[in-house]
Structure 1
Amino acid sequence: WPLALRQTTDQSAVISAVGSHTVAGASPALSPTHTIAGSSGILMLCLLLFAFWLGYKKYRSKGKSKETARIESFLQKNGTVHPKRYTYAQVKRMTRSFAEKLGQGGFGAVYRGGLSDGRQIAVKMLKDYKTDGEDFINEVASISRTSHVNVVTLLGFCLEGSKRALIYDYMPNGSLERYAFKDGSEGGNILGWEKLFDIAVGIARGLEYLHRGCNTRIVHFDIKPHNILLDQNFCPKISDFGLAKLCLNKESVISIGGARGTIGYIAPEVYSKQFGAVSSKSDVYSYGMMVLEMVGARDKNISPNTESSSQYFPQWIYEHLDEYCISASEIDGEITEVVRKMIVVGLWCIQLSSTDRPTMTRVVEMLEGSTTGLELPPKVLLS
């Protein structure tokens, strides 16, 4: 009996030793306790992630409901002003489920569609990226107050949850950027000087109307070739009022929260207060830069190897005005006058100080008048 007890005790010791050390080449066995603890940890992590997702979704939903309520409140207050409202289902039918995309931008995508009467339309589906619906309100509020041959017509809109759409007349010739800013040697669509001049005059008239002609003065803040649409007759239409600012008629200085616009066309005072107050003259600057770009892009004689490519173009054109006009017009007197007008007006519009820039009314007068007496500005904005 004592021997049996001793043998049992020895076996227990051996079992205990084996259980407390891993045998070489063998995997350690997990106890039920370890397995349960591991499973519980994973479950807790999943629950935390799910709770976070629910909280984020609730936060987003709350933000969206406030945003939608704000827009709905605006629409109710301006019920007699804004155009027809469509459902998202109607928008899908108009565009055949968004079958033909016309373009894509930071604001969203534009699709081609048609109304029941056969009228061709362009539907802009706005991206869901602003928390207060400012871009949507700006667009509806601005264009609904306008009626001018050189400003796009807003036919309708859609606001249904997070789905927002703006419906315009379809412009078969696209934007000015498509025609005026491509190299003709690569098959681009280059417009003649007379057509470019007519487009420049039309845009000037449209801006003059926005600044002075409509009931509520509007400053666009994003004048550039991409936002100038051309109809079947190449009549220009100012579009994209997502950054526009509505102003009281007597108001000359505008308060804005941060810079707005597109690099290369933004007036100095828009991004820095040291250049003065923001006003409708900020649109004048953008217009001037665009006209000078139209002039530079139209001339096929400017190559990457010329002096003008390494020098700030407005400065270069200021110093070589006469020779450039003669070269660009191919010694055609009428064309020379057209080119000179566009350049001189463009240089006046991009003056560093807004007080030195003409109003859009004066711009129209300069373009439609004679070049006689049309002098260069005393200086040009340097890069």
Structure 2
Amino acid sequence: MTNSYKEKLGRGGYGDVYKGNLPDGRPIAVKVLNVSKGNGEEFINEVASIGRTSHVNVVTLLGFCLEGEKRALIYEFMRNGSLEKFIFKESTLEDNQNLGWEKLYSIAIGIARGLEYLHCGCNTRILHLDIKPQNILLDEEFCPKISDFGLSKLCSRKDSVVSTMGPRGTPGYIAPEVFFRNFGAVSLKSDIYSYGMLVLEMVGGKKSVQTRVSASSEYFPDWIYRHLELVDELGLQGLKSKVETDTERKMILVGLWCIQIKPCNRPSIEKVIEMLEGSVEALPIPPKPILSSPPRPLPDSSATSSCDTMSLLD
């Protein structure tokens, strides 16, 4: 199918991806998993989770190959590759908006609808646990599709909390509760945090992981929040229409709500879509997300008192 792995499309944490063709000529992407990675859990996760899905904003798994220790996953081919290459550049934000605000907004909505399907539309809820630009693929029409389910977790429709064996995900996108359980349980809201960081990066054109690891750099959400009231500094000064300015501000506000430190203060994915599709004037400014050491456990009588900020969005 891949003509002896002739055309390499990229490399992920669990293997390399090659372009190929089915016998009928249809282009495909084949992910060949590393033999040395784990005991095959990522292969089982991918087949078990994405094999249950069918949605315009989730990449389609066409099949898989399993022979001894050799494992490969066969996906539909996404002509425009990952979102990462369209939003991350070394230049200024003015140069990064090559997709345009309308397209960026459409992509943000599409990703949210894909997450809504995973969280609410399947018979078994699917927590992706690795939402990031590299795992958002774009077809020829720039329709976004969520991919790479190697770290995903399944849970019943009546549950939203999962147990995990150690941190899962990519630094810069991992929700605080994945590392520090005092912040809360790993749940659907953990995907919301990752989505929020992704949306903020779409606006800012910066890699959050780079700004986190550099001691001299400003923490990425702080950079976004500092410019919230000066939105014209973030885009094409003097050239943007009111629609573009409102779209940019709306994406910033939604992103900041999604990365609230405590999971109970983040919106559900249904609420995220409602916020994105609603009026920017109706969105309150969220509290500044301050990442500090995990709080000490509180007595049951006061445990709920710190989770009231989302009532502003009801």
TM-score in same-fold range (> 0.5): yes
Shift of 1:283: 0.3
Which residue pairs with 1:135 in the alignment? 42
Q: Tell me, what secondary structure is at the counterpart of 2:169?
A: coil
Whichever residue aligns with residue 58 of structure 2, its letter is V
Which residue pairs with 2:27 in the alignment? 120
Shift of 1:96: 0.8
Asked whether the 8 Å contact 1:173–1:229 carries over to 2, the reply is yes
Whichever residue aligns with residue 192 of structure 1, its letter is G
- Report the Cα distance in structure 2 between the residues aligned to 1:338 and 1:152, rounded to whole angstroms: 26
**2:188 aligned to which of 254, 276, 280:** 280
Higher radius of gyration, 1 or 2: 1
Relative distance call for 1:189 and 1:297 in structure 2 (3 A) is closer
Asked whether the 8 Å contact 2:107–2:143 carries over to 1, the reply is yes
Gaps in structure 2 of 5+ consecutive residues: 293-314
Q: Tell me, what secondary structure is at the counterpart of 1:237?
A: strand
Which residue pairs with 2:251 in the alignment? 342
Whichever residue aligns with residue 356 of structure 1, its letter is N
Asked whether the 8 Å contact 2:227–2:233 carries over to 1, the reply is no
**2:241 aligned to which of 310, 327, 332:** 332
- Report the Cα distance in structure 1 between the residues aligned to 2:46 and 2:232, rounded to whole angstroms: 39
Instruction: Give the 5 Å matches for 1:121-270.
Output: 121-183=28-90, 190-270=98-178
Whichever residue aligns with residue 120 of structure 1, its letter is P
Segment drifting more, 149-158 vs 100-109: 100-109
Matched positions, count: 280
Q: Tell me, what secondary structure is at the counterpart of 1:372?
A: helix
Output one character per residue of 1:303-359: Cα deviation in whole Å (capped at 9) or x when no partner: x9xxxx842232232233131246515341000110011100000000000000001
Which residue pairs with 2:2 in the alignment? 95
Instruction: Give the 5 Å matches for 1:302-317.
Output: 310-317=217-224
Whichever residue aligns with residue 351 of structure 1, its letter is Q
Shift of 1:294: 1.3
- Report the Cα distance in structure 2 between the residues aligned to 1:327 and 1:259, rounded to whole angstroms: 33
- Report the Cα distance in structure 1 between the residues aligned to 2:145 and 2:91, rounded to whole angstroms: 24
- Report the Cα distance in structure 2 between the residues aligned to 1:297 and 1:188, rounded to whole angstroms: 6
Is structure 2 residue 269 aligned with structure 1 residue 372? no
- Report the Cα distance in structure 2 between the residues aligned to 1:183 and 1:230, rounded to whole angstroms: 21
Higher helix share: 1
TM-score (norm 2): 0.85
CA RMSD of aligned residues (A): 1.9
Asked whether the 8 Å contact 2:227–2:234 carries over to 1, the reply is no
Q: Tell me, what secondary structure is at the counterpart of 1:96?
A: coil
- Report the Cα distance in structure 2 between the residues aligned to 1:241 and 1:380, rounded to whole angstroms: 28
Is structure 2 residue 280 aligned with structure 1 residue 357? no
Shift of 1:188: 7.6
Q: Which has the higher contact order (CA 8 A, sep 6+)?
A: 2
- Report the Cα distance in structure 1 between the residues aligned to 2:288 and 2:158, rounded to whole angstroms: 31
Asked whether the 8 Å contact 2:151–2:169 carries over to 1, the reply is yes
Shift of 1:191: 1.8
- Report the Cα distance in structure 2 between the residues aligned to 1:382 and 1:324, rounded to whole angstroms: 23
Asked whether the 8 Å contact 1:179–1:191 carries over to 2, the reply is yes
Output one character per residue of 1:169-195: Cα deviation in whole Å (capped at 9) or x when no partner: 11110100011112458x988321111
Whichever residue aligns with residue 281 of structure 2, its letter is T
- Report the Cα distance in structure 2 between the residues aligned to 1:372 and 1:237, rounded to whole angstroms: 29
Asked whether the 8 Å contact 2:196–2:255 carries over to 1, the reply is yes
Gaps in structure 1 of 5+ consecutive residues: 1-93, 299-303
Shift of 1:166: 0.2
Identity, % of aligned positions: 65
